[in-house]
Chains A and B, each alone.
Chain A
Amino acid sequence: MTTFLRERIDAPTLIAAVGLAIMGLISIYSATFDAKMSELFFKQLVATGIGVVLLAAAALTPLRTLQRMSLPVYFLAILMLFTVLLIGKQVSGSQSWLQVGPFSVQPAEFAKVATVLALAVYLSRSDVQLVRTKDILIPAVIVLVPVALILKQPDMGTAMIFFGMLLPVLYWGGSSLFTILALVSPGVVAIAALIGPTTFFISVVVLGILLWITKHNTISAALLFSVMVLVGISVQSIHSRLRPYQQKRIETFLDPNADPLGAGYNVLQSKIAIGSGGFFGKGYLQGTQTQLNFIPAQWTDFIFCVPGEELGFVGAACILLLFGLLLYSGIRIASIVKNAYASFVAVGITGVFATHIFINIGMALGLTPVVGVPLPFLSYGGSALVADMIMIGLLLNLYAHRKEY
């Protein structure tokens, strides 16, 4: 019996998921600990229940069925993203929610999973060779359609997640480092150009050298290089034409510490909360920063402060280790499955989780710009939690069918 279970269930993935889900409920309970706010905790509890059911469903669907369902699911997701732009509910400036009966659903969260499945279907076709431009363009389009719709909401954070899934999947599929570089460099140059002319210059030089090293032929390298320079220059000229308050917003986005009392306020408070937690933390429900709500709506994007403050380094490290275990299992599953489609799904899911984790925790620790991205399993939000659970279900499914071709 035990051997049968061990054969069918990937223990590391399951342990990571269960551990993180528990940590999530503990953190949200604390962040919303107040007679009037407990409502949020119960909502999250209900979402966990729904998530478990869908996890099981995702885990038990036969691999073939899953593969056949992938494209229809992708188009359904695109349709939902259109719908949300038309009749969506606006919450704090973004039109991201659809009202479905008693639930508010965030289609972008599910679009992530659907896009991973669609990418895997395409890339696992035997005639695809990721050294050909045409074959790289199609996965780019698969990703850009939902990204464009999500940016329109606007939801910058979720849109970024899609790039976090595209790059590892392309790499896994055999793209050269040059291709990956080509996809990344315009964005890097754009951000560098926003920071200042010096960083712009340095980034162009460094990326230029990297392109030269990884190039297949001189023409494409030269072409890409000129695109890079052009992007940088146009970003700078657009920036100079923005209004002062818009420039300021970009400035604090790139460096929250520059404005500790305005947009950088959350980051400063987050660092104080985590730092003051020390090694063992202040004790559950005892965190002064958490309980006094210094960070508005802490239970969403800045949830990492709660274990950071109340459970200290011990708690925060536990969470990091659980996330590490999750990413490790994802890559391991991707490399042991025999079916190419399954392998790409595993890599895509791992990419999605990794991007969420790195951006969110990096932000809470004051390392990366403030982008609204939830932390998997921990942040309050039903759609995100259910989507996370579905992805875990898929990983477990792939593991169980790892020997199928």
Chain B
Amino acid sequence: MPVLDDMLVHQKRRVMYVVFSAVFVVLFARLIQLQWLYGEQYGQQAEENSVRIIPKEPIRGYIYDRQGRLVVDNRPSFTVTVMPYEFDRANLPYLARLLEMPEQALDERIRKGAEYSRFVPVRVKRDVDVKTVATIEENYTRLPGVDYQIESMRTYPTKASASHILGYTREVSEEKLKMLDPQEYSQGDITGATGLEARYEWAIRGKKGAEYSTVNARGQIVKRFDEGRANRPAVDGNDLYLTMDFSLQEFAESLFADKRGALVALDPTDGGILAFVSKPDFPLASLSGITPKDLWRNLNTDPDRPLFNRATLTRYPPGSTFKMVLAVAALEKGIITPNTRMQCTGAFVLGNKVFKDLHVHGSVNVIEAIQVSCNVFFYKLMLQVGLDTWSEYAALFGFGQQTGLDISEESPGLLPTTEFMNRRYGERGWTRGFLVSLGIGQGELGVTPIQMACYAMLLANKGKFYQPHTVAKLVDRIHDTTKVLPPVLRREIQCSEETWSYVREGMRRVVQEPGGTAASARVRGIVSAGKTGTAQNPHGDDHAWYIGFAPFDNPKIAIAVLVENAGFGGRFAAPIAGMCIEKYLYGRLIRNDGMHPDVQARDTSVTHRRPAHAAAAPPEPLNGGPD
């Protein structure tokens, strides 16, 4: 604008005065309306009709196993609360002593709550005993503002710990609280921290309700607001129905009582997890709610790392269990036929290095090589197949990638490719010696127990990869609706029927035929297939692996077992798998009770559990008792 034109300025000033005055007139009119005309009415409302919102907590969803057995329950517990407005700070030392918590921590919790509202009770201590509650009751008048609520806490009715898959709950952290919907989460709320509790938080938490109460000018509740018409009841969380079988879970955990390792069993017909063990673990019950500081410290500093989920995070070489990958690749690419025989002299010489075998196996074909776990056969085969093809097939079996299990974190493992080896050792830095080691599942190869269970499933299914998962359905009790999470066939390995049958025949012989390395995995009356493995461990004793499935013709269970620092897979991992298969398919252990499996299969409890199985897998004459 060039110059301020007096005339124009005068006119504009008038327009602005008019506009502003008009707004002020409206504000004044409203003020008069509220304070003069309706003042009395609002005054009454202020006196007796002030509304206060009392949040109502939903009940966290229950968790059931595949038989409908309750595995995660809620129990009532006492929580001490303090309303900052009424609380007398002089009582701080007394209350801290009563609740056995540091004065400073108590003070901090009350302050935090007061920042939000001084009229909303703050939860200061969870799960106190009845004696404390009684003391608070007795001193009701001497402790203004101190009260208690009954809240539900997680409890675990089974003997299984299943800590890594179920996960624990804890109070929502302050940083997390800032990112959550304030309508649904407030300070001190319980939320899922790990495992299923965290992953399915959206479903099992439920929605908070609200009760509106009329309070008087002194803040006391007079009556329900609007006859309770405005109240919203809390909507309880959905219940989870798992694919897991907790009697198998309890049993499998008991087999690991004095061991370190992991076990994953799944249903090859749909990918549902049946049992999931990572030992050592920790008691979930002691972590739900407020964790004692020393327990938390112990769990974190324990050299055995109980918080670490071995089933999805450990990376060990798979050992001989990996031989089927090479066998499938070689058969499929036409590099060998089932009649191709190789000579095993008990050692394989490559340049100036000697790769040993445990036995002299003589002339073996691929089926026999799997049965007796002949290393020399696979050393030679690996040199023919080459790293690229081998690695391509290993990837098809799911190695080097996450399985996508619906709980917490998971390692993709390590699957070497030519590119990887070149990057790591330089293009000429790695020898054929590295290659032959990979051929028998040793060296630069890392797999997780969950990957191994999927591998067993793929062999059981002749290539069908069902997404491994733990939740079968979500049930909304309030609206009586069920959301079924159907099994997902993620991919299928395209191999000829013959290839599958040769490799699977090898695996059958491992368990069922004399000379197989896993006679200890045999189950009376059931044809079982599997493969042992021993992961070489430069830092200590070798780790024992076993993968397998049963019944052979119509697999109902695929399993992977890892026992850390145990030694041979056949001796330490295979019997655990055998017993779990037996427990799952028969409903109990039959190896010591001398009853014929036929009778077992017709036992009511068993037919009830698995009607299809008894017909599908007729008992077979045994070649010898299990070890």
Residues of A within 8 A of B (CB): 34-36, 90, 92-93, 123-124, 126, 128-130, 168, 171-174, 261, 265, 268-269, 271-279, 288-289, 292-294, 296, 308-309, 312-313, 316-317, 320, 324, 327-328, 331-332, 334-335, 338, 340, 343, 350, 354, 358, 361-362, 365-367
Contacts and interface: CB of A to CB of B under 8 A. Distances in A.
A354 B119 contact: no
Contact of A272 (B40, B50, B118): B50
B478 interface: no
Interface stretch (B7-15, B453-461, B507-515): B7-15
Given A128-B1, A261-B212, A340-B1, A328 B17 contact: yes
Contacts of B16: 168, 171, 331, 350
A277 B41 CA distance: 11
A294 B50 contact: yes
A271 B34 contact: yes
B104 to A, nearest CB: 16
A62 B413 CA distance: 70
A322 to B, nearest CB: 12
B53 A173 contact: no
B3 A292 contact: no
A130 B4 CA distance: 14
A55 to B, nearest CB: 23
A279 B42 contact: no
Contacts of B4: 338, 340, 343
B475 interface: no
B36 A279 contact: yes
Contacts of B150: none
B28 A277 contact: no
Contact of A292 (B26, B40, B114, B119): B119
B423 interface: no
Contacts of A272: 42, 45-46, 49-50
How would you classify the secondary structure of chain A's contact residues: helix, strand, loop or mixed?
helix
Nearest to A277: B35
A334 B13 contact: yes
Contacts of A316: 31, 35
A340 B117 contact: no
A99 B23 CA distance: 37
A331 B13 contact: yes
Interface of B: 1-4, 8-10, 12-13, 15-17, 20, 23-24, 26-28, 30-32, 34-36, 38-47, 49-53, 84-85, 89, 111, 114, 116-119, 178, 210, 212, 215, 217, 219, 230
Contacts of A320: 24, 27-28, 31
Given A293-B118, A331-B20, 8 more contacts: A172-B12, A274-B42, A331-B17, A340-B4, A350-B16, A365-B31, A367-B26, A367-B27
Contacts of A328: 17, 20
B27 A279 contact: no
Given A275-B39, A278-B39, A313-B31, A173 B1 contact: yes
Contact of B46 (A126, A276, A296, A340): A276
B53 A261 contact: yes
A36 B42 contact: no
B46 A289 contact: yes
A292 B219 contact: yes
B177 to A, nearest CB: 11
